[in-house]
Structure 1
Amino acid sequence: MTRTAVTVLSVLAVVTTLSTTASASADTDAHGSSRGDGGHVIAGPRNASGGASVTGSGEFVLPYYKDDDVRSFTFDAASAPFSKPLPGIPTGLPTDARGTVKVLHYGADQHITVTAEGHVDCLVTGPNTATLTAVIDKVSPGGPDWVGKRLGFSVYDGGKDKGHSRDRVGFSWDQTMNLMPGGTTEAPEGEVGTCMAPAPNAPVTKGGYTVRHAELPPFPTP
């Protein structure tokens, strides 16, 4: 693989699986509306209890980097407060969450598709917004060395779409936003903690997301 291909795939990579993108590009967007523009869809919120969630799938573009690549994220994440005990925090945290994240990036110049999938470990929401993190479990051959690594994602839900999406996404490995101090484009990106990601700056061009906001619950009374 050329250095250019490696740079594009590792620095600008992004979401879902190729089969998911192809099969989900037919009729329905993540907000439940009929679409003819190839919008994607996944199952509804995993939590029926009314907690926070972010669901949906969409392609997006980088506003500062124009190319013909296809990038997409698929989220099916729901809050699961106090479900993951930690050393010194036996109750777990109000931001504990479960679910899946899928990433796809098709490099048009190299005709290479890279995919990755991980399990969600943290979710926090505000009105129309969500930040979540996931630990990557598998990456397709030729993809970046992400297995076991935590990645961060952010989502802005622009409401029900009428012919175009107003949603946006952000991601932690975008090196325009996550260089180490004094770094260059060759520098390693910074570590990602739970629920950490830059603001959702990249416009969604196809598909969309639904964010269901819920306030974080208080810690259990001893």
Structure 2
Amino acid sequence: MRSVIRRKVTVSLTALATMSTLSTACATSAGANAGSREARPAYASVTGSAEFTLPYVKDDDVRSFTFDAHAAPYSKPLPGIPTGLPTDARGTVKVSHYSAGRDITYTSEGRVDCLVTGPHTATLTAVITKVSAGGPPWVGKRLGFSVHDGGADQGRSRDRVGFSWEMVNLLPGGTAETPEAQVGTCMAPAPYAPVTKGGYTVHHADLLPPPRG
């Protein structure tokens, strides 16, 4: 009888130990999965400030962009699209250009209206709301920007930017008054200009499906 009782106790303890191990493993796995989910941002963003150089121009001008752009999907209703779009965004863009020839800095500020990202890359657009004296006639105009986030920089930055004016977006056969095409939301060329100082951080997140109901 005692041997039978001992066997029953041993079996019960073994079962409890096995259940405890399985429970711990499941909790660890769930925690790892939760951590993985938390590591992926729910919404995309582009932040940072940097100076860059134009590969096709050699001058002493100083050009820089500052981005604080965040995805805000389905937040801006449109005619026929009451839910808005998955590319809706908010935030600000600042453009600065020091002209060495004129010894003056021109600045512009804009309101972000669209953002799309991929791994390490982003395109965004902003409608300009303010331009400093003597700057280009951009107020009310949408401009496009692109960013390549080269990762943790060591020495010279590996980031790049692109923008929708100057050498791109020209209209073949356009006039002197309207040489450029209108920029649509999230439209920008590839990031072709190397960053020389500062840098950008792109947090990628996939575009979300429409809200239910």
TM-score, scaled to structure 2: 0.78
Instruction: Find the counterpart in structure 1 of residue 46 from structure 2.
Output: 54
SS at match of 1:63: coil
Please give the per-residue CA displacement for 1:125-147, whole angstroms capped at 9, x wherever unaligned.
Answer: 00000000000010000011111
Q: Residue 24 of structure 1 corresponds to which residue in structure 2?
A: none
Larger radius of gyration between Structure 1 and Structure 2: 2
Alignment of 1:215 with 2:206, yes or no, is yes
Q: Deviations over 1:114-133 (max 9, x none)?
A: 00001100000000000000
Aligned mates of 2:200, 2:175 — CA distance in 1: 33
Tell me which residue corresponds to 1:84.
Answer: 76
Alignment partner of 2:85: what SS?
A: coil
More helix per residue = 2
Shift of 1:221: 3.4
* Amino acid corresponding to residue 71 of structure 2 in structure 1: S
Shift of 1:190: 1.0
Aligned match for 2:117, one of 113, 125, 130 = 125
Q: What is the alpha-carbon root mean square deviation over aligned residues? A: 1.7
Deviation string 1:71-124 (CA, Å, 9 cap, x unpaired) is 000000000000000010000000000000000000101112100001100000
Q: Which residue of structure 1 lines up, in the alignment, with residue 184 of structure 2?
A: 193
* Mapping of residues 75-154 of structure 1, within 5 Å: 75-154=67-146
Number of residues of Structure 1 aligned to a counterpart in Structure 2:
174
- Report the Cα distance in structure 2 between the residues aligned to 1:186 and 1:202, rounded to whole angstroms: 27
Quote the offset at 1:186 in angstroms.
7.6
Report the AA paired with residue 167 of structure 1.
D
Tell me how far apart the structure 2 counterparts of residues 185 and 179 of structure 1 sit (CA, whole Å).
Answer: 11
Aligned amino acid, residue 151 of structure 2: G
Q: What is the CA–CA distance in structure 2 between the aligned matches of 1:147 and 1:153, rounded to whole Å?
A: 16
Task: Give the percent of matched residue pairs that are identical in Structure 1 and Structure 2.
Answer: 77
Deviation for aligned residue 1:160: 0.7
Gaps of 5+ in 1: 1-48
**Which one-letter code corresponds to 1:195 in the other structure?**
C
Measured in 1, the distance between the counterparts of 2:45 and 2:189 equals 19
